[in-house]
């Protein structure tokens, strides 16, 4: 009996070591590129580091006090929320519509799915520069030809429309990626449910409301949280499109961190903004997760 126990103990130890060997590389990378930089960011936010010099002094929470008394932060927060909410809503609506359309059986649907997904593989910076050119010349000519006043001028030069133009570019690039998650949810719905509802006389609108949408609730949770989180910290495409302009109309929090750190040489203050932004992102993500999980629980 003792030998059997020893063999079981060795087998269990080997199994645990095998599991550890599988997730240890990912854990090490997570520590090196997420946890340690986060700890360093918190530390430097408590100093007067200029972002370049090796010399700095510990100043406590002075940067955070400056953050909460900085009137410009309200402007950046407003621009960030306007951009984030617009992208989150439009991207999910467009992606859901595309998923519902491309979930139908017709010839060439896989090719169309691929075409919609390809933009999400492109670099946000490259996409930003491409659309910056499109807004400045071809779209203006198109608008003048058709007599569409809003397109006849460079939208990126409008302080009221530039943020929405940036949101449009983000939606154009990422909607295909979001669409694939909705498609995965749609394809997991048992066909028998829809067929039974159709036999009972339910039209497509009724099946969509009472069967399809409730059963893809997990896809809503994933997409809304990921879209919100990504757009909240989006930097590349906005930088390529407007660099925060015209004026400061598109100066989001991510661009404000860049400006404070590299233009004004206030690396510690830019880091403090990043730490506050990270904390806000975590809180907002948890609130969204709780909200969507309640919706999923109702479906179950």
User: Any idea what the CATH number is for the domain that residue 177 is in?
Assistant: 1.10.3720.10
Q: In the structure, how many helices (H) and strands (E) does the chain have?
A: 16, 0
Measured distance CA(299)–CA(210) in Å, rounded: 10
2 pLDDT more than 60: no
Any domain includes 15: no
Q: Omega into 102 within 30° of 0, i.e. cis?
A: no
Supply the pLDDT for residue 16. Answer: 75
Q: What is the DSSP letter of 120?
A: G
Any domain includes 156: yes
| Owning domain of residue 229 | 67-299
Any domain includes 164: yes
35 pLDDT more than 60: yes
Among 202, 184, 183, 218, which Cα is nearest to 101's? 183
Contact 247, 259 (CB under 8 A): no
Supply the pLDDT for residue 297. Answer: 67
Supply the pLDDT for residue 15. Answer: 73
Any domain includes 60: no
Q: Which residues pair with 58 in a beta bridge?
A: 47
Other Cβ atoms closer than 10 A to 60 = 9
Domain count, the chain: 1
138 pLDDT more than 60: yes
Any domain includes 287: yes
The pLDDT confidence band at residue 6, using thresholds 50, 70 and 90, is low
Mean pLDDT of 189-213: 85
180 pLDDT more than 60: yes
The better pLDDT of the pair 131, 150 is held by 131
Q: How many residues does the chain have?
A: 300
The better pLDDT of the pair 181, 12 is held by 181
Q: What is the DSSP string of 233-292?
A: T--HHHHHHTTT-STTTT--HHHHHHIIIIIS--HHHHHHHHHHHHHHHHHHHHHHHHHH
Supply the pLDDT for residue 208. Answer: 87
Mean pLDDT of 158-181: 95
Supply the pLDDT for residue 24. Answer: 85
Any domain includes 58: no
Identify which of 49-53, 103-107, 273-277 has the greatest average pLDDT. 273-277
126 pLDDT more than 60: yes
Conformational region of residue 234, where left means phi above 0, alpha means psi within -120 to 50, and beta covers everything else: beta
Q: Which residues pair with 47 in a beta bridge?
A: 58
Supply the pLDDT for residue 192. Answer: 85
Measured distance CA(59)–CA(3) in Å, rounded: 62
Measured distance CA(65)–CA(67) in Å, rounded: 5
Contact 159, 249 (CB under 8 A): yes
Q: pLDDT exceeding 70 applies to what percent of the chain?
A: 94
User: Which token pair is 133?
Assistant: 């050119």
Radius of gyration of the chain (CA): 25
Run of H or E residues at 155: none
207 pLDDT more than 80: yes
Q: What is the DSSP letter of 157?
A: G
Mean pLDDT of 17-25: 79
Mean pLDDT of 99-117: 92
- Residues in CB range of 210: below 8 A, 6 or more apart: 197, 202
Supply the pLDDT for residue 3. Answer: 60
Any domain includes 9: no
| Mean of all residue pLDDT scores within the chain | 89
The pLDDT confidence band at residue 225, using thresholds 50, 70 and 90, is very high
Mean pLDDT of 117-131: 94
Measured distance CA(30)–CA(243) in Å, rounded: 31
Supply the pLDDT for residue 190. Answer: 86
Nearest-5° Cα angle at 237, 84 to 158: 75
53 pLDDT more than 90: no
Any domain includes 286: yes
Mean pLDDT of 217-221: 92
């Amino acid at each position: 009996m003792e030998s059997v126990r020893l063999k079981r103990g060795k087998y269990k130890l080997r199994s645990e070591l095998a599991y550890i060997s599988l997730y240890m590389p990912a854990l090490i990378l997570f520590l090196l590129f997420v946890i340690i930089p986060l700890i360093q960011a918190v530390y430097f936010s408590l100093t007067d580091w200029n972002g370049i010099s090796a010399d700095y002094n510990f100043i406590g929470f002075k940067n955070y006090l400056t953050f909460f008394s900085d009137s410009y932060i309200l402007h950046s927060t407003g621009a960030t929320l306007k951009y984030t909410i617009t992208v989150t809503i439009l991207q999910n609506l467009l992606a859901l519509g595309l998923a519902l359309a491309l979930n139908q059986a017709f010839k060439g649907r896989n090719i169309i799915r691929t075409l919609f997904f390809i933009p999400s593989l492109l670099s946000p910076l490259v996409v930003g520069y491409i659309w910056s050119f499109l807004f400045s010349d071809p779209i203006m000519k198109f608008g003048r030809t058709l007599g569409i006043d809003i397109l006849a001028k460079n939208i990126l030069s409008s302080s009221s429309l530039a943020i929405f133009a940036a949101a449009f570019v983000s939606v154009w690039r990422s909607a295909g990626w979001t669409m694939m998650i909705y498609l995965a949810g749609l394809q997991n719905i048992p066909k028998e449910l829809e067929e039974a509802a159709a036999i009972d006389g339910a039209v497509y609108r009724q099946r969509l409301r009472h069967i399809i949408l409730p059963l893809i609730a997990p896809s809503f949770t994933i997409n809304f949280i990921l879209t919100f989180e990504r757009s909240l910290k989006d930097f590349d495409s906005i930088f390529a499109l407007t660099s925060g302009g015209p004026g400061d109309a598109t100066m989001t929090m991510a661009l404000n961190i860049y400006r404070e750190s590299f233009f004004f040489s206030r690396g510690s203050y830019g880091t403090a903004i990043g730490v506050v932004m990270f904390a806000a992102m975590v809180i907002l993500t948890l609130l969204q997760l709780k909200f969507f999980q309640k919706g999923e629980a109702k479906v179950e």
